């Protein structure tokens, strides 16, 4: 039986970087079984919110908690094994095969190799990369790296999957496979947070849309609810109606290299002797 109720709770959260307020007073409950489209333009605050949800950032104000099946609350940074994250930069080890990247991440989450392998094969078949699992990722295309990172995030069977622009830069066929897998995860009762700036993609995949603009939460509901509330006939028109003020230019004022270092520390703890980051 699929559990219901709130799984992640964002409570009056603000996040500042010096004088820049990347997020302001965001309150949001994410429920078990939700497939939520986190929608906004560049600099809206989507990535900052995702980093707060996975415990990479700590709020300047407010809190983010994970609520277990018994109703107990835990700061999200203490329960990272319950989360699967696919960042925009995949961070794969170039000298390792796809399977070795996935296995290493699974071992960090105390998943036996056999269990991780069985799950990896099922996911690889769904994404049509089963034949590539034993290849080093150095020569992988962007789509192959993205698919490998998605399997890596799911191999330890997390309760929540956080996706940051999962189809960005992918060809049409690869993007379609990713969307199909996300829809299947939703049907299975998985909680998915799907960050994108593509409204049509969010409408295809997600049953709930959260619109972030200039660091504030502008709307939260189904596509039909958003259109009804704004008296519009398309999700695009609803989005424009809710975000008429000029967009700011940046999200979080941090150089990408610093984030990559933080992300590597979070997901890999230490680098294996034979590995190296794939910065392609």
pLDDT digits (tens, 9 = 90+) for 100-114: 999 999 999 999 999
* pLDDT band per the 50, 70, 90 thresholds, residue 78: confident
Torsion of CA 209, 212, 218, 222, to 10 degrees: 0
d(C-alpha 80, C-alpha 269), whole Å? 13
Q: Which residue has the higher pLDDT, 140 or 258?
A: 140
Give counts: helices (H), strands (E), the chain: 9, 10
The strand order across the sheet containing 35-39 reads 83-86, 160-164, 191-196, 35-39, 208-213, 216-221
Per-residue CA distances from 28 to 11, 13, 139, 194, 218 (Å): 7, 9, 40, 15, 11
Alpha helices, DSSP H, located in the chain? 46-53, 98-108, 113-127, 142-154, 172-187, 199-205, 223-230, 235-242, 256-268
CA distances from 88 to 33, 61, 203, 271 (A): 23, 26, 20, 20
Instruction: Tell me how far apart the alpha carbons of residues 54 and 18 are, in angstroms, rounded to a whole number.
Output: 22
**Considering the chain, what is the average pLDDT of its residues?**
86
- 34 vs 90, higher pLDDT: 34
214-243 pLDDT, tens digit each:
999 999 999 999 999 999 999 999 999 999
| 78-102: average pLDDT | 90
Give residue 262's pLDDT band: very low, low, confident or very high (50, 70, 90): low
Q: Taking residues 193-209, what's their average pLDDT?
A: 91
Distance between CA atoms of 118 and 135, rounded to whole angstroms?
18
pTM: 0.82
pLDDT (0 to 100) of residue 186: 87
Residue range 6-65, pLDDT digits in tens: 999 999 999 999 888 999 999 999 998 899 999 998 888 999 999 999 998 999 999 999
Residue, of 259 and 116, whose pLDDT is higher: 116
Distance separating alpha carbons of residues 267 and 213, to the nearest angstrom: 28
User: What local confidence, expressed as pLDDT, does residue 275 receive?
Assistant: 47
Task: Please tell me whether residue 52 adopts helix, strand or coil conformation.
Answer: helix
The helix (run of H) or strand (run of E) holding residue 93 is none
Is the separation of the CB atoms in 218 and 243 below 8 Å?
yes
Q: Which of 34, 27, 25 lies closest to 7 in space, CA to CA?
A: 34
What's the confidence (pLDDT) of residue 88? 79
**Is 60 exceeded by the pLDDT of residue 267?**
no
Please state, for a pLDDT cut of 70, what percent of the chain lies above it: 87
Of 65-74, 75-84, 210-219, 248-257, which range is least confident? 248-257
202 is written with which tokens? 């969010």
| Rg of the chain on CA atoms, in Å | 18
With a CB cutoff of 8 Å and minimum separation 6, the contacts of 33 are 2, 3, 4, 186, 189, 190, 191
Query: Quick one: DSSP state of residue 248?
Result: P
DSSP state letters, 122-181: HHHHHHT-GGGTTSBGGG--HHHHHHHHHHHHHTT--SEEEEESTTTT--HHHHHHHHHH
pLDDT in the model for residue 259: 52
Give the model's pLDDT for residue 131.
94
What DSSP character marks residue 189? Answer: T
Mean pLDDT of the region 118-141 = 93
Domains plus CATH for the chain? 6-268 (3.40.50.300)
């Amino acid at each position: 039986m699929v559990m219901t109720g709130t799984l992640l709770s964002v409570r009056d959260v603000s996040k500042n970087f010096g004088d820049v307020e990347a997020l302001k007073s965001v309150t949001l409950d994410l429920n078990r079984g939700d497939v939520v489209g986190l929608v906004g333009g560049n600099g809206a605050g989507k990535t900052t919110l995702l980093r707060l949800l996975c415990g990479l950032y700590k709020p300047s104000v407010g809190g983010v908690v994970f609520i277990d099946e018994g109703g107990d609350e835990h700061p999200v940074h203490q329960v990272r094994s319950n989360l699967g994250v696919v960042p925009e930069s995949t961070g794969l080890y170039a000298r390792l095969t796809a399977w070795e990247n996935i296995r290493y991440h699974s071992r960090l989450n105390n998943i036996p190799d056999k269990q991780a392998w069985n799950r990896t094969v099922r996911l690889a078949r769904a994404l049509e990369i089963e034949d590539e699992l034993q290849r080093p990722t150095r020569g992988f295309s962007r789509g192959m790296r993205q698919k490998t990172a998605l399997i890596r995030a799911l191999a330890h069977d997390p309760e929540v999957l956080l996706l940051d622009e999962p189809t960005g830069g992918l060809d049409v066929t690869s993007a379609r496979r990713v969307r199909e897998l996300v829809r299947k995860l939703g049907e299975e009762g998985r909680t998915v947070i799907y960050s994108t700036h593509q409204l049509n993609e969010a409408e295809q995949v997600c049953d709930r849309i959260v619109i972030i603009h200039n660091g504030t939460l502008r709307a939260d509901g189904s596509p039909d609810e958003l259109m009804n509330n704004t008296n519009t006939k398309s999700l695009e028109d609803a989005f424009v109606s809710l975000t008429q003020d000029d967009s700011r230019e940046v999200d979080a004022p941090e150089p990408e290299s610093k984030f990559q270092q933080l992300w590597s520390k979070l997901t890999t703890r230490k680098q294996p002797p034979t590995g190296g980051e794939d910065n392609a």
